[in-house]
């Protein structure tokens, strides 16, 4: 029942009030009516409770991991499919296979990666090097971050091109240091990072063999280590760690952005 002193609140206003979409003036009218109308107050409370319950019921879905084929569908098609054109589906299927990581042996898997136009062993090598050195509590690196300049100069000299140690402090990872790692053709630079929980990430950089000039991007899980790797400007990059894919992707973007800025000075 509405009190004798207030005009009835239209149904549309009750809805909008519950959804916080009413203008302040009309919201004030509803507020006033609530004081004198227990039935209206109960209805508003019930609708608000329903909204809250729906959010509670549906919000956990947002935390679910993203399937690989959907992740692949967010890659700009120009770079993703320049050569594959409409025959993109096989490449996406391969990405899904990498994530699942079962049912296909090492050799079969390498053949699949090769067909997708990416290096056969970079992700694997990156994951192995990461596992080996990240687990080493006392000596994960050859040169510590305290001598970052010396580290970068040394790795630049050994790799034969300018390398950079990206700053990942924005995502909570500090540079631990770096080392040189043997690659299958050329030496690889490894930068190790660590967060407050002592979780480690590594960025590995190497010169790519000629002929793989296009930018490619892949995600793989190798022996339980997540690896994002890509090729850009004749260099291969791999970021590895035991962190979830979303976080790793975020870090990969920061690394990509900083390296592009360092190399070109004018990222788009």
Partner 1 sequence: MTPPAATASPGLPHPDLVAAIPRLRRYARVLTGESSRADDLVQDTLARGWEKRRLWRSGSDLRAWLFTIMHNVHVNQLALARRDAANVSIDADPGNPAWQLPVRANQLERVELLELLQHMGRLSADQREVLLLAAVEELRYEEIASILQIPIGTVMSRLSRARSNLRQLIAEPASALRVVK
Q: Tell whether residue 39 is a contact of partner 1 (CB under 8 A).
A: no
Instruction: Find the binder of partner 1 among 27, 215, 221, 235 (CB under 8 A).
Output: 215
Instruction: Find the binder of partner 1 among 24, 76, 210, 224 (CB under 8 A).
Output: 76
Round to whole Å and give the CA distance between 67 and 71.
6
Q: Tell whether residue 258 is a contact of partner 1 (CB under 8 A).
A: yes
Total interface residues for partner 1 by CB under 8 A: 57
Residues facing 207 on adjacent strands: 235
Q: Tell whether residue 46 is a contact of partner 1 (CB under 8 A).
A: yes
Distances (CA, A) of 96 to 67, 90, 91, 92, 215: 8, 10, 9, 6, 19
Q: What share of the chain is helix, strand, coil (3-state, %, to 5)?
A: 50, 20, 35
3-state secondary structure of 254: helix
- From the CB of 216, what's the least distance to partner 1, in Å? 6
CA 23, 25, 27, 29 torsion: positive or negative? negative
Q: What stretches of the chain adopt beta strand conformation (E)?
A: 143-144, 174-181, 188-194, 200-207, 216-222, 225-232, 235-241
Contact 202, 129 (CB under 8 A): yes
Place of tokens 């053949």: 111
- From the CB of 215, what's the least distance to partner 1, in Å? 4
- From the CB of 11, what's the least distance to partner 1, in Å? 6
Q: Tell whether residue 26 is a contact of partner 1 (CB under 8 A).
A: no
Applying CB under 8 A, the span of 45-53, 99-107, 127-135, 184-192 interacting with partner 1 comes to 45-53
- From the CB of 130, what's the least distance to partner 1, in Å? 20
Applying CB under 8 A, the span of 64-72, 100-108, 119-127, 194-202 interacting with partner 1 comes to 64-72
Cα 108 from chain centroid?
27
Residues lying near partner 1 in the complex (CB under 8 A) are found at 11-12, 15-16, 19-21, 46-47, 50-51, 53-64, 66-67, 69-80, 214-217, 230-232, 246, 249-250, 252-254, 256-258, 260-261, 267-268
């Amino acid at each position: 029942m509405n009190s004798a002193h207030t005009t009835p609140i239209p149904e549309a206003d009750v809805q909008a009030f519950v959804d916080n979409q009413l203008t302040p003036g009309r919201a004030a009218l509803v507020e006033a009516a609530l004081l004198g109308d227990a039935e209206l107050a109960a209805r508003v409370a019930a609708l608000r409770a329903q909204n809250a319950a729906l959010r509670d019921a549906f919000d956990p879905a947002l935390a679910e991991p993203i399937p690989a084929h959907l992740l692949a569908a967010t890659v700009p098609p120009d770079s993703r499919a320049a050569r594959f054109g409409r025959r993109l589906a096989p490449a996406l299927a391969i990405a899904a296979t990498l994530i699942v990581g079962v049912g296909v042996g090492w050799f079969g898997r390498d053949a699949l990666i090769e067909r997708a136009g990416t290096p056969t062993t970079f992700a694997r090598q990156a994951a192995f090097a990461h596992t080996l050195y990240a687990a080493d509590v006392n000596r994960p690196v050859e040169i510590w971050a305290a001598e970052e300049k010396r580290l970068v100069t040394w790795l630049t000299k050994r790799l034969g091109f300018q390398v950079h140690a990206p700053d990942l402090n924005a995502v909570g990872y500090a540079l631990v240091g770096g080392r040189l790692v043997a690659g299958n053709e050329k030496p690889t630079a490894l930068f190790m990072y660590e967060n407050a929980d002592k979780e480690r990430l590594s960025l590995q950089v190497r010169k790519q063999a000629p002929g793989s000039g296009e930018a490619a991007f892949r995600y793989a899980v190798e022996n339980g280590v997540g690896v994002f790797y890509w090729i850009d400007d004749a260099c291969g990059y791999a970021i590895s760690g035991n962190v979830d894919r979303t976080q790793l992707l975020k870090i990969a973007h920061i690394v990509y952005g900083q390296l592009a800025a360092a190399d070109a000075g004018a990222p788009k």
